[in-house]
A and B are shown apart, each in its own frame.
Chain A
Amino acid sequence: MIDAKRRILLKGSLAAGAVGVAVGAGLLAPRTVLAAWPQAAFDAKDVGSALKALLGIDAGEASGDITIKAPDIAENGAVVPVTVESTLPGVKTIIIVAEGNQTPLIASFNLGAAAIPSVSTRIKMGKTANVQALVQTADKTFTASKEVKVTIGGCGG
């Protein structure tokens, strides 16, 4: 039952946003909301299939208008600060991928009308790898990446 719902919700790219609004309005219980979370994309073991599951395409177009701020060398892979900014117009989504991780897709940020394309968070990195940022505008997906050397991996094990 839940599975069937998830499939339906995944089909509409607007679904996630709509459900977010519904939760804010107190219309849906948290359990229902989980259905909007792109499980297949987050479970994917390589970058291509994660992006395919999330966006329907497996790579973006390289762009110089995306800035990734991350350390060149991260001493602790469990906490790697990453900031993604873009000067591209009409940014709808910002996606962060750690290419070397067991499940590379880290986060997807859906920007509302007022949001400025600039998000920061801290991520885990299992090993030295590229951090890839994808920026989705109204009709295209752009990408940029930056290598981060990891001294101690942060994915346990």
Chain B
Amino acid sequence: MAGNIKIRAKAQGGETSVKALMTHPMETGLRKDKKTGEIVPAHFITEVTCKWKDEVVLTALWSGGVSQNPYLAYKFKGGAAGDPIELTWLDNKGGTETAIEKIE
């Protein structure tokens, strides 16, 4: 579970754009280990919840088809410098991580 989430949020012209990078292997469960020939068990983020203050702006449901160390960018109306942006992910093994960053 070690890793971190990087969030960058900028407010401009009444809109806020958020860019986030997560650290996760995103194993599909379909890939074989080249050395052992055994299938690598699935381990990927299933759900990402993005909040602005207490409001949920975006919920992403993912499969293992999202690339390793996932990138997510989205936009929303409103937001001002200093407002908190929160991102939480959950994975298929019950792992979770949350990060909060202020809008620039």
Q: Which of B54, B57, B65, B92 contacts A107 (CB 8 A)?
A: B65
- Residue among A80, A122, A155 with the highest chain B CB neighbour number at 10 A: A122
Q: Is the CB of A98 within 8 A of B88?
A: no
Q: Which of A104, A119, A154 contacts B73 (CB 8 A)?
A: A119
Q: Is the CB of A122 within 8 A of B71?
A: yes
**How many B residues, CB 8 Å from partner?**
41
Residues of chain B whose beta carbon lies under 8 Å from any beta carbon of chain A: 15, 28, 30-32, 40, 46-47, 49, 51-52, 54-68, 70-78, 88, 90, 92, 94-96
Interchain Cβ contacts under 8 Å between A and B, 27 examples: A17-B56, A23-B49, A23-B88, A24-B56, A24-B88, A30-B94, A33-B47, A34-B46, A103-B30, A103-B65, A105-B65, A106-B62, A107-B65, A107-B66, A108-B60, A109-B59, A109-B60, A110-B61, A112-B56, A112-B57, A114-B57, A116-B75, A118-B75, A121-B71, A124-B66, A155-B28, A156-B40
A31 within 8 A of B: yes
- Residue among A20, A42, A106, A119 with the highest chain B CB neighbour number at 10 A: A20
A157 within 8 A of B: yes
Task: Specify which chain B residues have a CB less than 8 angstroms from the CB of A78 in the assembled complex.
Answer: 67-68
**Interface majority SS on B: helix, strand, loop or mixed?**
strand
Q: Which of A23, A24, A102, A122 contacts B30 (CB 8 A)?
A: A102
Q: Which residue of A lies closest to B49 (CB)?
A: A20
A27 within 8 A of B: no
